[in-house]
Structures are given as structure tokens and as C-alpha cells.
Amino acid sequence: MQTCAKKKTPQLYSTTQEEPSIQGNSKPPEDLPESTPQVEDLQDDTEKDKSYKINDFVSAIKALGKNAAKSGKVREPEPFNSCDPKKLKTFILQCRLYFQGSSDLFQDEAHCITFAISYLWDVALEWFEPGLSGLTEEPPTWLEDWDAFIKELKTNFRPYDESGDVESELVNLQMKDSQCISEYLVQFNSLAVRCSWGKSALRHRFYNGLPSCLKNDVSRGEGMPKDFLGMHRKAQNSDAHYWEQVQEHY
């Protein structure tokens, strides 16, 4: 138990006013309460205050986002929890669309980062917690730099072999007989832009993914187009003609 001797201790608690001391009959100061905070306790409280402020800020940004979404302006991004790394690309895209649709809510990159982190769950959120809580020696650059934040996300949570996964999906992509070509085109183009294949290889793969009926139509007339765009247009026209006939039949 600590005592004060020849040193005045700051009053941390409210006390009653002391009576003036009489010279020659002064009383020694009483022991401080056992619950007097130590330096370590004050530091812990400071860290807690930081954490509370960050949590309040995240809640405020998220509440603003929900109000904007309810007004019909934009759609909130789907939360990302790192269980399916393939969903990271979609999560980043949805965040960017949200920022564009609600630009009045996000004055700088720090606000964008805080909002995006509020939609991270589980391991993905835990990864950023030390930097948000002020537990790192220096503030991370990703706190105020969107590109640095995206790099941090991709480095730790993107697919292990992203290019290999894309190529595998592209090789196995097949358009079903009952499927409209627009859906096949969206899937194919989404993979093609992330693949390092040349135009000739993409054209060949696009053709192989078509159902037999469309392959026959694409090969008729002047023959198979020699470029990917020509292949795309001819297959699209053939598919549109096919569905017109189906509607006329019914």
C-alpha cells in the first residue's frame, strides 16, 4: 500500500475540502485508496477509448450507408468473411459501386476504408483489428490509402493460385442448351479479362464452349469467324434467331 511522503498526489477522486492545518499540530496525509489507478491501468483505458472511438466511427459510417441504401440509391456490399476467396473480387467491386453511388457520404479514402472494413467478418476483420485499435507501433498505411488497403486484402485473402483457378474455370465453362448466350458471354468475358491467353486461344475456347446447335450455325455461311469479336457476334445472332423461333412456336 503506497503512502505520500513530501509529495503532493493529484486528486483522482472528489473529496471533501480539508480543514486548514494548525502549525505544530499537522496530521500526516492518509493512505491513498487501494483502487487508485496505476500507470498501466491508465494506458489500458487509453487503448479502450481508442477502440470505442473506432467502433463508434464504424457504426456511424455503416448507419449512413444503410440509410442511403434504404433510400434506393445504392445496394450495400455483401459481407466478406474470407471463407470463399473467390468472392473477394465481387466484394471490392460492390464497395466501389457503393462509393460511386453515395459519393456525398465518403469525403476521403479513410472513410471508404472504414466502411469496407465494417463489412468484413471473422478472420478478415480480425486481420485489421490491431491496426484499427492502435496496437501497432506505427499506424498502418492502409488506414488512409485505399490502394494499400486493397493490396492488404488481396495479399492475405485472394485465391492462392488466382490465374490457375481462372484458367481452370475457363476451360470447363460450357453453355447449356437451355441457356441464353448472354449469360454465357458474361461468364466468359469475366474470366477472359483475368486470363493471360491470346485472342486466338480465347476464340477457340469460346467456340468449344458453345452447344452443338450454335456451333453448327457459327460454321455455316462464310465459315467460322477468324477473330474473337466476329465469333461473339455471329454466335449471339444465331442464339437470338433460335429464341425467336421458340417464341413463335409457343
Cell of 194: 483475368
Shared-domain flag, residues 172 and 151: no
Residue of 98, 106, 103 lying closest to 74 (CA atoms): 98
Residue-wise pLDDT tens digits, 14-46: 444 444 444 444 455 555 455 545 545 544 555
Last residue of a domain, one of 106, 126, 157: 157
DSSP 117-173: HTTB-HHHHHHHHHHHTT-SSS--GGGT-HHHHHHHHHHHHS-TTHHHHHHHHHHH-
If asked whether residues 90 and 179 sit together in one domain, one would say no
The closest of 64, 3, 85 to 36, measured between CA atoms, is: 3
Q: Within 10 Å of residue 144's Cβ, how many Cβ atoms?
A: 15
What is residue 66's predicted lDDT score, i.e. its pLDDT?
54
- Residue 80's nearest CA partner among 27, 21, 122, 36 is 122
For the chain, which ranges sit under pLDDT 50?
A: 1-26, 32, 36, 39, 42-43, 50-53, 57, 68-69, 71
The whole-number pLDDT of residue 49 equals 52
Query: Which pLDDT belongs to residue 59?
Result: 56
- Do 81 and 177 share a domain, yes or no? no
187 and 145, same domain (yes or no): no
Q: Check residue 44 and give its pLDDT.
A: 53
- Tell me if 35 is assigned to some domain: no
Residue 97 lies in a domain: yes
Query: Tell me, what's the pLDDT at 124?
Result: 94
215 part of a folded domain: yes
| Mean of the per-residue pLDDT values of the chain | 77
pLDDT number for residue 20: 45
Number of domains composing the chain: 2
Kindly state whether residue 22 falls inside one of the protein's structural domains. Answer: no
**Boundary (domain end) residue, out of 134, 157, 180:** 157
Query: Per the domain annotation, does 152 fall within a domain?
Result: yes
Mark whether 149 and 206 lie in a shared domain. no
Q: Give the total residue count for the chain.
A: 250
Nearest to 116 by CA among 135, 143, 155: 143
Residues 105, 187, single domain; the answer is no
- Do residues 192 and 215 share a domain? yes
DSSP assignment letter at 102:
T
Judge if 174 and 205 occupy the same domain.
yes
Q: Which amino acid is at 101?
A: G
Q: Write down the pLDDT at residue 30.
A: 52
- Stated pTM of the model: 0.54
Strand partners, 80: 120
Tell me if 13 is assigned to some domain.
no
Residue ending a domain, choose from 136, 157, 178: 157
Dihedral class, residue 120 (left if φ above 0, else alpha if ψ from -120 to 50, else beta) = beta
Residue 3 lies in a domain: no
What residues make up the domain containing 166?
Answer: 162-249
